[in-house]
Homo-oligomer: A and B are copies of this chain.
Amino acid sequence: MSEPAESDGAARRGRGRRPAGEDTRATLLEAAREVFGEVGYANATVRAIAARAGVDAAMVNHWFGGKQALFSATIQMPPEALATFERELGQDPAVVPDRMVRAFLTVWDEHNAAFRALMRGATSQEEAAARLRDMLSALIFRRIAAICADDRPQLRAALCATQMVGLGLMRYVIRLEPIHTASVDALTALISPTMRRYITGPLD
């Protein structure tokens, strides 16, 4: 049993600094996730986010164009997370049911602050909920359509989404034991049979 890393920021700061521009952008994103989480979208100011990041407020406009665009960026799946997910899932659709849980946990154990920001946004802003719907469709619908057992890929993908997002919510947000600290191997073994039935099994 290992505790997931507490935040992207802590892990990132531990790895040393990146090139200045990218670093400023990433630092602003981390600060924005914290401030939006603490005071909500309406009450968060560009000035407060810039202060938290230790940069001039003009940097927010330079890198993101404004508060709404910065918020949008905080609720997107980080590009490196998307790459990890695609790599873990592989190219063969037939292995998707067995690999989906491990790919999901591998990504979000690494980026759990981003997952919390996404959930916080999705429960309070329709824009974030719509983005999560789009993300789920883009990431899993296509793959499931290629292998599912009947002509209901959207239903099957949506059932997978209920299980996967619920798993993430309990592991990273609600921190319900033993889900919060269980190993990726253990959770993969426990939950993959559910994914297999939702994707390729009989449903009725």
Contact = CB atoms under 8 A, between A and B. Distances in A.
A69 interface: no
Interface string A39-71: 111110000000000000000000000000000
User: Size range of the interface on A?
Assistant: 35 or more
24 contacts: A37-B124, A38-B42, A39-B43, A42-B43, A119-B123, A123-B169, A129-B175, A133-B175, A136-B176, A155-B178, A155-B190, A158-B176, A158-B177, A158-B179, A159-B179, A161-B166, A161-B170, A162-B169, A162-B179, A163-B166, A166-B166, A166-B167, A166-B169, A194-B194
Secondary structure type dominating chain A contacts: helix
Given A163-B194, A165-B169, A166-B164, A174 B122 contact: yes
Contact of A177 (B42, B124, B154, B163): B154
Interface in A7-62: 37-43
A175 B136 CA distance: 12
A119 B116 CA distance: 12
Interface of A: 37-43, 116, 119-120, 122-124, 129, 132-133, 136, 154-155, 158-159, 161-167, 169-170, 173-179, 189-191, 193-194, 197, 203-204
B43 A123 contact: no
Nearest to A159: B190
A124 B120 contact: yes
A4 to B, nearest CB: 15
A132 B169 CA distance: 11
A179 B154 CA distance: 10
A165 B166 contact: yes
A159 B191 contact: yes
A139 to B, nearest CB: 13
Contacts of A194: 163, 194, 197
